[in-house]
Structure 1
Amino acid sequence: MEVLKRRPAATRPVATPSYSVAQSAPHQILVCKACKHQGSSCEPGFALLKKLRAAIAAADLSGDFEVSGTACLAGCVPGHGGPCVVGWRATAKATWLFGDIDPAQPIDDLVEFSRLYAALEDGWMSGKDCPPRLCGNTLARIPAAIIVTREGAVQ
């Protein structure tokens, strides 16, 4: 019988800022604010975060959405030109991730997507149902996690 040798575990640096983001509203919008390519904070991400918080409040969606900055969402491409990645998540709903979001452009499509997402029971929709400018910027649509144990399904 051949004995498999285990490679030494690679050490992983501690995440700074934290990758864990507490959620205080039923839905959460995450804006990438840390650039993995530059190893520093992302000024366009901070600009989009501020602009999106104001737009969600102006649209009277603050009770439904928390807009948070987070560490790198790993959806950008260096030198691609579109600096921001934005995600939507909620318990028992699909998670959506959009890239190439320019904070200098109007963000009405992001607010419209928020309205659509909040209205859907499971957060699932066809990409063609997304606001037009977001259709081509979809990086991922991830089904809600359902964990099954011996006792049954756990959400």
Structure 2
Amino acid sequence: MTLVNSRTDVKNLTLTFITEFEAPVERVWQVWEDPRQLERWWGPPTVPATFERFEFRPGGEARYYMTTPDGSKPRGWWKFLTMDAPNRLEFVDGFADDNGDPLDVDDVAAVVATLEPFDGGTRMTLVNTFSSTEQLEAMVEMGMVEGLTEALGQIDAVLAESAVSH
């Protein structure tokens, strides 16, 4: 993976990551649609994700937890909004309680993943849009930029494996 750009835009309340992969768009899409592949990269190497629920369709939801080095398991949830396979995925992402239920359905970040052919491979742009400056600053303070950069760096290893047939 080549991380082409990572930027925080406080004015527009966004964190944007642009990465490039030596794999076709359809293959990169699979690392989103298959929860077992997604688990291998969603979260930094020391804080892996486990998806307990994964309804990959518009209106579907995902529930996951991340296991920290000290054994704690912070939880999150997604609601998939729109999909245009294999080029665009939109969802909201929020924190969840110990049962995996949303803590606050209004305290979410909107996420848009765009995949496009680029230089014989795929360019993936990931834009996280926050509801307030405070929410953006809190996520940056929690290490989201570093964590997501590390997470995205794991995708190449997943892509190197055979594509999963559906």
Structure whose CA Rg is larger? 1
* Structure with greater strand share of residues: 2
Q: Same fold (TM over 0.5)?
A: no
Normalising by structure 1, we get a TM-score of 0.29
Per chain length, whose mean CA-contact separation is higher, i.e. which structure has more relative contact order (CA < 8 Å, sep 6+)? 2
